[in-house]
């Protein structure tokens, strides 16, 4: 038996994997023709039947429809079509993933199904106009951070922000940060690293796509997180990953925004009936301009009741915005 004949079952498995699914079959004659024309492998009806039986014994789920020309398909996949749709849409909608990497990942995900379904998956995907990251090193950065977490090592890295000219400008006076990474977290369409500062036992969070180049894993053992640290609590209380002091804030909300409150703070959020049209919610948040912007976005349907200091700071921010508008109108 020549090498091609030995490989024939593998080629049949490949053909069925790529070209058949629940709705598409290949007949014995079609399999024989493909093997001959594309791979230079001779086969006949009995060898096809024997090879498919061998593939079944190996564990592949191949369906056979008996007729004068038996037809076969491979219907079981690692991912069902709806699961692939969800994964591809997640890739395309992610700001963290660059356009070129998105295309590459979609191609890989599409290869997990038949060519027929892959064509429809690609045709139905649209990412035109979506804001995407420009940091092509992000995947290497994630891998390096993950390695440091597993080894409990500190990392050194440069972190940037954009200036008014849309130029990248290194933070921390151009000096590298030294951090013990604890967790990688997906939040608000961005990937973040949560870690402990080297020079103080304080937590910080960094957007992965804002890390200037691949971090260096240091030989130093990692710094322990503050006592009682819980990553889920940290995520829930650090509002959209902006660092500030966490406070219990009482809100008075229109009944129509209950869905939004639960989406933001979870079903365990503390709420009380206020009157016929509103309810009160007590939430723990990192009070910052991001939180205030979130409140403002409800157009008066969410109001800050207390603490007084938080409420006054919100009023101060609103007054400053109004004054700025008046100045711009006059000029």
**Mean local confidence (pLDDT), 18-44:** 88
Q: What is the pLDDT of residue 239?
A: 47
pLDDT band at 74 (very low <50, low <70, confident <90, very high): confident
Q: Which of 32-46, 213-227, 235-249 has the lowest mean pLDDT?
A: 235-249
Structural domains in the chain plus CATH codes? 3-74 (1.10.10.10), 81-124 (no CATH), 138-237 (no CATH), 239-328 (no CATH)
pTM of the model: 0.57
Closest CA to 190 of 224, 251, 235: 235
pLDDT at 42 over 90: no
pLDDT at 124 over 70: no
Q: What is the pLDDT of residue 126?
A: 52
pLDDT, tens digit, 9 for 90 and up, residues 188-200: 667 889 999 877 7
pLDDT at 8 over 70: yes
pLDDT at 323 over 80: no
Q: Which of 14-28, 65-79, 187-201, 240-254 has the lowest mean pLDDT?
A: 240-254
Q: What is the pLDDT of residue 330?
A: 55
Burial class (CB in 10 A: 0-12, 13-18, 19+), 76: exposed
> Which are the contacts of 195, defined by CB distance < 8 A and separation ≥ 6?
179, 180, 181, 182, 203, 204, 205, 206
Q: Is 173 helix (H, G, I), strand (E, B) or coil?
A: helix
């Amino acid at each position: 038996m020549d090498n091609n004949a030995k490989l024939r079952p593998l080629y049949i498995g490949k053909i069925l994997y790529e070209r058949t699914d629940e709705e598409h079959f290949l007949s014995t004659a079609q399999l024989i023709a493909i093997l001959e024309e594309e791979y230079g492998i001779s086969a006949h009806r009995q060898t096809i039947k024997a090879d498919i039986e061998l593939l079944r014994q190996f564990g592949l789920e191949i369906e056979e429809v008996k007729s004068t020309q038996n037809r076969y398909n491979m219907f079981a996949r690692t991912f069902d079509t709806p699961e692939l749709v969800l994964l591809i849409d997640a890739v395309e909608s992610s700001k963290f993933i660059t356009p070129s990497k998105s295309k590459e990942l979609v191609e890989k995900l599409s290869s997990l199904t038949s060519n027929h379904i892959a064509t429809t998956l690609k045709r139905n995907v649209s990412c035109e106009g979506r804001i995407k990251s420009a940091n092509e090193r992000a995947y290497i950065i994630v891998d390096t951070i993950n390695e440091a977490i597993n080894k409990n090592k500190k990392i050194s890295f440069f972190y940037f922000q954009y200036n008014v000219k849309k130029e990248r400008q290194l933070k921390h006076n151009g000096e590298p940060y030294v951090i013990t990474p604890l967790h990688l977290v997906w939040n608000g369409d961005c990937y973040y690293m949560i870690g402990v500062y080297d020079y103080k036992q304080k937590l910080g969070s960094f957007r992965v796509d804002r890390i200037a180049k691949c971090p260096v894993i240091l030989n130093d053992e990692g710094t322990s997180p503050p006592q009682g640290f819980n990553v889920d609590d940290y995520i829930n209380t650090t509002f959209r990953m902006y660092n500030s002091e966490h406070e219990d804030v009482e809100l008075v909300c229109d009944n129509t925004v209950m869905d939004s409150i639960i989406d933001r703070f979870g079903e365990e959020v503390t709420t009380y009936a206020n009157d016929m049209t509103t309810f009160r919610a007590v939430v723990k948040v990192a009070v910052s301009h991001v939180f205030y912007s979130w409140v403002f976005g409800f157009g008066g349907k969410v109001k800050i009741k207390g603490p007084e200091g938080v409420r006054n700071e919100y009023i101060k921010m609103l007054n400053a915005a109004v004054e700025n508008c008046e100045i711009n109108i006059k000029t």
